[in-house]
Chain A
Amino acid sequence: MARDRDENDHSDVPDDLSLRVKALQSLLVEKHFISQMQIDGVIEAFEHRIGPHLGAGVVARAWVDPEFRELLIRDGNAAMTVAGIGGWGHGARLVAVENTPTVHNVVVCTLCSCYPAQVLGLSPVWYKSAPYRSRVVIEPRSVLEEFGTVLGDDVEVRVWDSNSEVRYLVIPQRPAGTEHLAVEELARLVTRNAMIGVEVVPSPTSGPAR
């Protein structure tokens, strides 16, 4: 059953997966379709260069720079150019959706795993899992509660279903008590989960983010 072997459970991955990957990889390298250097380069980018720190910088800048915030909401791709974030999202439109005291946005890809990789890097396992994809569109509040996010009845929840052409980034609300912080310090508060919309950015005075 899916629950016995869902996507978080990797302890029982059969060894033959490693062997299959080795076979495919050595065939593609030996036949000069791909070089080992290219493979290592992409892995290096996954692990060290792209990631949610890029999105956090974008969000923090939007919090302190009204002109940038306006551009980010109006034309996400143009804002990426201004922020010097390139590649990876090529061909897709980045749409930033802003949380307010009365609107909370959350992002999903019900069909697969479309994700703003350009600013958030590789998506987490749960984002691609059947429980999240099936449920967040019909019962977003109970899914959010599983992340510890409880929203008041006066807050409208908007669920955005991504696709290969449009990727969504949530601009979380700037927490209270951060007026004195510099943009770099603000960026450190912004979690990836908040930019997917399953969590909010906690106030730095209310304890560390999980």
Chain B
Amino acid sequence: MNGIHDLGGMHGFGRVDAEPEAVEPLFHAEWEKPVGAMTLLLIQQGRWSLDRFRQTIESETPMEYLSRSYFERWLAAMETLVVEHGMVTPEELTTGKVASGQLAESAPSWSPVFEITEPPRYAIGDQVRAVNRHPPRSHPVTPLRPRTRWRDRRSRRRRTTPRAGR
């Protein structure tokens, strides 16, 4: 998926406006705390995988993606996923109240971890070439940058870590 999240090598975003480490708060608003916690818990429970969560974020429009803060993206992705998984209805999200007849037995969880039995096709140290494959609705397997080979002329050499193709 060629998406706005694939930022490596893009121009025009300006300086890195970093708060000094010593004075930087861990959270910048109270609401960020439960968003972080709920995101983690739902993935730990196996409601969806980390990859599915990321894919949901990456499916935002470029305008949404760039105008939302980090935890805002997490919140929006969770709102999408709880509805998709039938845990909450859109109406409930609007009202914040459990609709009658909607009280849950919680859905069975599943594990996103599975065993791979196929032997690996590549060994550590093998030279690989990144394949330019990026279907529009899938989680990206290769960032744009290794596909297009951007370079910093000021660096003598740059290492990138190719993602394994799937």
Flag whether B100 is at the interface (Cβ < 8 A). no
Flag whether A150 is at the interface (Cβ < 8 A). no
Flag whether A173 is at the interface (Cβ < 8 A). no
Asked if A138 and B5 sit within 8 Å, CB to CB, the answer is: no
Q: Which residues on A sit within 8 Å (CB–CB) of B94?
A: 23
Asked if B29 and A210 sit within 8 Å, CB to CB, the answer is: no
Flag whether A71 is at the interface (Cβ < 8 A). no
Flag whether B84 is at the interface (Cβ < 8 A). no
Asked if B96 and A27 sit within 8 Å, CB to CB, the answer is: yes
Number of interface residues of B (CB under 8 A): 80
Given A112-B5, A138-B150, A141-B154, the answer on whether A130 and B41 have CB atoms closer than 8 Å is no
Q: Which residues on B sit within 8 Å (CB–CB) of A17?
A: 29, 31, 72, 75
List CB contacts (< 8 Å) of B118-166 with chain A. 140, 143, 145, 150-152, 154-161, 163-164
| Interface residues, chain B, with chain A CB atoms under 8 Å away | 5-11, 13-22, 24, 26-31, 33-38, 40-42, 45, 47, 50-51, 54, 57-58, 66-67, 69-70, 72, 75, 78-79, 82, 87-88, 92-96, 98, 102-107, 113, 140, 143, 145, 150-152, 154-161, 163-164
Can you identify 19 A-B contacts, CB atoms within 8 angstroms? A2-B13, A8-B17, A8-B19, A18-B31, A21-B35, A21-B75, A25-B38, A32-B105, A47-B26, A110-B6, A110-B8, A122-B26, A137-B160, A143-B16, A146-B16, A147-B16, A161-B160, A163-B161, A209-B21
| Interface residues, chain A, with chain B CB atoms under 8 Å away | 2-3, 5-8, 10, 13, 17-28, 30-34, 38-43, 46-47, 91, 108, 110-113, 121-122, 124-126, 128-135, 137-143, 146-147, 156-161, 163-166, 191-193, 198, 209-210
